[in-house]
Structure 1
Amino acid sequence: MRMDSHQDPFEGDEEAALRYAIALSLQDPNVPMSPATAQRPIVLDESEDEEEDLENGPNGPPTPKKTSQLAGKPTRTVPTTNHSQTTPLGTLSHTQSNGLSSLGLDRKKMEEERLARVAKRKAPPGEDSPQRLRQRIKNDGQPKVTPLTAAAPVSSASTKSTQLPYPKGVVRKTWASGYPRQDDITIEEIFQKDQLELAVLSSFQWDDEWLLTKINVNKTKLVCIAFASDDQQKEAMRNNVPRDRIRYETPVAQSSQAGSMHSKLQLLKFSNYLRLVIPTGNLVPYDWGETGVMENMVFLIDLPMTTKSENPLTMFGQELCYFLTACGLDSTLINSLSKYDFSETIHYRFIHTIGQSHIGDAWQRTGTMPLLSLSPLTMATGYCGLGRAVESLGLATDSEVELDFVIASLGSVNTDLTSAIYNATQGDNGLKEYDKRTSGGARKKATQKVGPSYHPDNFRIYFPSHETVIRSRGGKSSGGTICLQSKWWDSSTFPRELIHDCKSVRPGLLMHTKILFVRPLHQNKSQPWAYLGSANLSESAWGRLVKDRASGQPKLNCRNWECGVLIPMESQAGKSGWSLFENRIPIPMVVPGESYGKTNSKRPWLFLEA
């Protein structure tokens, strides 16, 4: 099926479009594929070795087939030095495993589909017959859940400032091969695999072979927060791994409109502390600088164990627990978080999007934590949650603010979304834009266009131009995870005037970073802060507040699962502009960047058309 100019099979969902592109890059070149086809498992060639030692993890991932075509044009592949070594199956669809690629697939169904396709076509001359494998994995019962607090506690006073590497929380760029080291960190330095006892990991893309070089599964138990389209797939994923070493936790899709487990989160348990990590990149080597073509950023903080009899979680800790509960993480593990000292997170906020419809009071969520006996909560999810987090930290303001938002994917963006995000950065809970959009009825909407809540000069969105990607160190083959379609860009409602070219301060690197810088337009009017996390600029990532037809009340629709952290800046007398961030966050991009969207001097990177 060809996509004509009047249809959008992705419904503005940039993550669905990205899954489609990567699915195409893995599909057999002799089989045409439509966006609907991308919702089915992709067939893989696999080895005949049935003797792999699952106690040590899989020997390696299956090998993806060659690149397909879309309407006569080559599709984008994910950026990596050797494409055959990376199998990012977590990006394909919510009907497929978002976990370790060689462990969580429905192999029987995939093989049946592959044989059906083979029967419908003639193999090219000289082509070898595909090998077949049905991997046998035997498991004995349910795994024993290991709480994060399995080690004996030590005094927080003895570890808080002297032994913990990052007791206050830091932001670092990811290391990139071929560049001088400065303000950066490697995944080895984060994982510290010789000391790591338990790792809880969430990602959108996975490279299992690579990951298992960073984590020793003989020593470290691994919990993967993946995605399941239904209970049957959830059980299949759990049955396809050695349960004593690797465990899946899988939120089940709530509807056919569910999007992606796009969150990036790491809970790393060491003998006497817990490391919380929020990266902007996935668990693949190019996102961690190993091919020298892509960079990301990461927030991490180390929390000591505590012997206090009463240890109430901060708001950061409560929101983290709420998100993990929604993700389906085991309650024993979640409750064990209360054994760690979260006091240093009091200045931060955990920001999340939970991929489902939040109806009635659920969109603003007042109540108590389902698993922990905590005080009433007044937080929320999506951009509504961002606004409430801003207010809870005393950062709300009626004054104008400046926004600089670095993103890697753009969906079908319009001024409704950009206004909602802008309002949230001022502390609004989502109702300001919603009331403006829904009041007055259909007649008013037809005669009165609702304008944005901001001045265009105060909102900059950083997205690379076609020229920037082509001239990057990895060239156009490194732009496969940077997503935008011409259909969205050329729409009359797309806010092109906000788009600035995204160039790294490390020349030649592309960025898979998602970071939002917020600062007062006028000095001393409000405190600057930043958001760092997984969310791009799209309704899939931040949600949309609509009127529920049944109740007439607001309802927040979210497709993706996202998470991030809000980081306030300390007061700095005499400083303004970008200098407000320099002590806490390395600025990754060249500012302010060329405003090519406003002038039409360049075209953006369009990943399906390069």
Structure 2
Amino acid sequence: MGDDHLSKALESSLNDLKREMDEQEREKDDLKKAIAASLGKSVDQLTARDLLNATMDGDSSNKRRLPPDITDAPPNKKPRPEKYWDGVVKLTHVTGFSGLSFITSADIVQKSMLKKAVITAFVSSMDWIEEHFPEDVNLCLVTHGRPAIRKQYGSNRVIIHAPMKDEKFGVFHTKLMLLFHESSLRVVIGSANLERYDYNDLENVVFIQDFPQTTTRLKSFSQLPNFASDLCDLLDLMHVPPSVKEEFLGYDFSKAKAHIVASVSGVFEGKENYRKYGHARLAQVIKDIGAFDPARLPKIEMQTSSLGSVNASFLHEIYTSFCGIDPYENGAKPRGRKKEGLPPIEIIFPTQETVEMSKLGPPFIIATLPSSGNTAKENELRGWVYCGSHNATLSAWGKLTLSRETREAKMTMNNWELGVVLPLYDSTEIPSTYRRPAPLYRPGQDAWTQDFEW
């Protein structure tokens, strides 16, 4: 009996040891799955360095506690797509380049979570659109074309040509995405057209912000913050179906980070109208964010992919707005500085050599204010940045004049454009697509020009 009892005891101990080893093995497997999920890999794709970085720590156990959102994640479950609740400026992914500042078109759209969308651009590729927007997603596409139309294709596709000021001049150049996801709305405003070339081969810029769905809807559009209200105004002018802007009543825009600056093809006359669009709108935004200071006029860096007919008169006109000055604010008599020489605007435009060796950059404006004194103030406004579709042209920013008939100020624009302005502080991080300070043209270097064959 003694030997039999000892044999059973040994067998029991071995079984306990086996269960413990099996449990440890399961824990290791679970840990590998959690690490793989956190890195967006499969278990088979994990390297020894991945495991070492995730498990080694400075304590005696040599084991690091993983965050709850990783350890509690079901095995092989991919991390949820990233949301930008506080807004962010990103550069579009370019083949051959990588970094935290870049984002792919797939990561922007997040089609697995998409329910409906409004997308706008000057140029659009249906192949690119069908790749990113599945057939079951309700889609409204606004693009350039004449005459103005709104057509239904199938049960869930609408194509719109926005109205233009006239039949000869101007383009619809607005780049906007309204992406209605499962429980949030993503607003994307940038410089990229809806085609693979713009998202794979060109450096474009996008502002992205996500807004959460609310449990209770607002009762009227007058309750919307300015950011959302300005977008609704544009949707109406584009002739987008009213049901789209009605969706805005169900989202929380209280944390909107950016200020909308749009141009709309048309003539807008009178005090309440001319300030809504073009560079007059930009002047109003600069005042609103507190960047207008007659004693600290800004230095401007203006990156553009199109110059048009830039001359001294146009540069002085837009620089006045870049300062936050409305020349007709106090009536018909313009105010501002005497137009002598050129204003402090540096236009960043690529040389022929640069274009042949690299990627074309997006419309981008950086305004820096001189220091207010010898001692920098905490959280002092340092300037502002604009990113969007506006190039350095009169057609894009508009012409501000006085009406001969009414003697009231009016803003005339050929193009539709859209961008955002963000204030710059010491802590603000905005990616730039060019080296700063930008180098001057050297003797013998030519500006980039594009030849068209007819």
1:520 aligns with 2:369: yes
Equivalent position amino acid for 2:108 in 1: I
- Paired residue secondary structure (2:165): coil
Q: Does 1:451 align with 2:340?
A: yes
Shift of the alpha carbon at 1:609?
8.0
- 1:397–1:526 Cα contact (<8 Å) kept: no
Contact 1:519 1:526 in 2 (8 A): no
Q: Is this contact kept in 2: 1:422–1:453, CA < 8 A?
A: no
For normalisation by structure 2, the TM-score amounts to 0.74
Q: Spell out the pairing of 1:568-607 with structure 2 (5 A cutoff).
A: 568-570=423-425, 572=426, 583-596=428-441, 601-607=444-450
Partner of 2:360: 510
**1:534 maps to amino acid:** S
Q: CA deviation at 1:211?
A: 2.2
Q: Is it true that 1:414 corresponds to 2:311 in the alignment? A: yes
Letter in 2 for 1:263: T
Alignment of 1:563 onto 2:418: yes
Pick aligned residue for 1:224 from 130, 134, 141: 141
Identity of aligned residues (%): 26
- 1:401 equivalent in structure 2: 298
Structure 1 distance, partners of 2:363, 2:321, is: 17
Q: Judging changes above 3 Å, is the alpha-carbon distance between structure 1 residues 466 and 216 closer, same or farther for their aligned structure 2 residues?
A: same
2 CA distance for matches of 1:278 and 1:438? 33
| Contact 2:218–2:250 (CA under 8 A) maintained in structure 1 | no
Query: Counterpart of 2:170?
Result: 259
Q: Which residue of 2 aligns with 1:390?
A: 286
Alignment correspondent of 2:114: 196
The structural deviation recorded for 1:600 is 5.3
Matches within 5 A, 1:493-504: none
* 1:356-390 alpha-carbon deviations (Å, 9 max, x no partner): 111233533xxxxxxxxxxxxxx510000001111
- For residues 428-479 of structure 1, the C-alpha deviation after alignment (integer angstroms, 9 at most, x for no partner) is 23538x978899xxxxxxxxx942573xxx3211111112123x1xxxxxxx
Q: How many Å separate the matches in 1 of 2:249 and 2:323?
A: 31
Q: Which residue matches 1:534?
A: 389
| 1:424 paired residue among 301, 310, 321 | 321
Partner of 2:60: none
The whole-number CA distance in structure 2 between the counterparts of 1:308 and 1:389 is 30
Deviation at 1:195, TM superposition (A): 1.4
What is the one-letter code of the residue matched to 1:465? T
Aligned to 1:120: none
Is the Cα contact below 8 Å between 1:385 and 1:429 reproduced in 2? no
Q: How does 1:340-359 map to 2 (within 5 A)?
A: 340-345=251-256, 347-359=257-269
Cα distance, 1:227 vs. partner?
3.9
When residues 435 and 465 of structure 1 are mapped into structure 2, their CA distance, relative to the original with a 3 A threshold, is farther
Which residue number corresponds to residue 182 of structure 2?
Answer: 271
The 8 Å contact of residues 170 and 584 in structure 1, kept in 2 or not, is answered as no
2:194 maps to 1:283: yes
- Matched residue count: 363
Match of residue 322, structure 1, among 221, 227, 233: 233
Q: Structure 2 matches for 1:341-380, cutoff 5 A?
A: 341-345=252-256, 347-361=257-271, 363-364=273-274, 380=276
Q: Residues 509, 453 of structure 1: CA spacing in aligned structure 2 closer, same or farther, 3 A cutoff?
A: closer
Q: Distance in 2 between matches of 1:564 and 1:408?
A: 15
User: CA separation of 1:604/1:450 partners in 2, compared to 1, >3 Å: closer, same or farther?
Assistant: same
Q: Which runs of 5+ in 2 are unaligned?
A: 1-79
CA positional deviation for 1:266: 0.2
SS of equivalent to 2:365: strand
Structure 1 segments (4+ residues) deviating >6 Å: 434-439
Greater share of residues in strand: 2
**Structure-1 residue corresponding to 2:355:** 469
Deviations 1:226-277 (A, max 9, x none): 245335xx15xx16x32x1210233222323541110100000011100000
- Residues 526 and 425 of structure 1, relative CA distance in 2, 3 Å threshold: farther
Separation in structure 2 between the aligned mates of residue 329 and residue 396 of structure 1, nearest angstrom: 35
Is residue 2:22 matched to residue 1:179? Answer: no
Matches within 5 A, 1:131-170: 165-170=83-88
Within 5 Å, which residues of 2 pair with 1:61-100? none
The Cα of 1:349 is off from its aligned counterpart by 0.6
2:293 partner SS: coil
Cα-to-partner distance string for 1:409-445 (whole Å, 9 max, x where unaligned)? 111011222222222222123538x978899xxxxxx
Amino acid at match of 1:590: R
- Is contact 1:200–1:224 with CA below 8 Å preserved after alignment? yes
**Contact 2:264-2:413 at 8 Å conserved across structures:** yes
In the superposition, the TM-score normalised over structure 1's length comes to 0.56
Asked if the contact 2:147/2:161 (under 8 Å) is kept, the reply is: no
| AA aligned opposite 1:326 | L
Pair 1:355–1:362, CA change in 2 (3 A):
farther
* CA–CA distance in structure 2, aligned partners of residues 185 and 203 of structure 1: 19
How far apart, in 2, do the equivalents of 1:322 and 1:186 lie? 29
**Residue 277 of structure 2: aligned partner:** 381
Q: Which residue of structure 2 aligns with residue 124 of structure 1?
A: none
1:565 is displaced (CA, Å) by: 0.8
Bigger drift between 331-340 and 265-274 goes to 331-340
Q: Which of 196, 207, 215 is equivalent to 1:299?
A: 207
Task: Quote the Cα distance in structure 2 between the aligned partners of 1:435 and 1:469.
Answer: 44
Report the Cα offset of residue 309 of structure 1. Answer: 5.5
Which string of whole-angstrom CA distances, capped at 9 and with x for unpartnered residues, describes residues 91-125 of structure 1? Answer: xxxxxxxxxxxxxxxxxxxxxxxxxxxxxxxxxxx
Amino acid at match of 1:395: A
Q: Deviations over 1:271-306 (max 9, x none)?
A: 1100000121111112112xxx42111110000011
CA contact 1:200–1:267 (8 Å) conserved in 2: yes
Contact 2:224 2:249 in 1 (8 A): yes
Change in CA separation of 1:382 and 1:304 when aligned onto 2, cut-off 3 Å: same
In the aligned structure 1, how far is the partner of 2:436 from the partner of 2:82?
Answer: 34
Deviation at 1:164, TM superposition (A): 6.6
SS at match of 1:209: helix
CA distance in 2, matches of 1:300, 1:417: 31
Deviation at 1:224, TM superposition (A): 0.6
Question: CA 1:427–1:206 in structure 2 vs 1: closer, same or farther (change >3 Å)?
Answer: same
Which residue number corresponds to residue 4 of structure 2?
A: none
Q: Tell me which amino acid in the other structure corresponds to 2:164.
A: A
Q: Say whether the 8 Å CA contact 2:381–2:424 is kept in structure 1.
A: no
Instruction: Report if aligned partners of 2:86, 2:255 keep a CA contact under 8 Å in 1.
Output: yes
Which secondary structure does the structure 2 equivalent of 1:269 belong to? strand
1:275–1:302 Cα contact (<8 Å) kept: yes
Offset, 1:526: 4.7
> Counterpart in 2 of 1:334?
245
Q: Which structure has the bigger radius of gyration?
A: 2
Matched residues in 2 for 1:277 and 1:309: separation?
Answer: 22
Q: Secondary structure at the match of 1:247?
A: strand
Asked whether the 8 Å contact 2:91–2:431 carries over to 1, the reply is yes
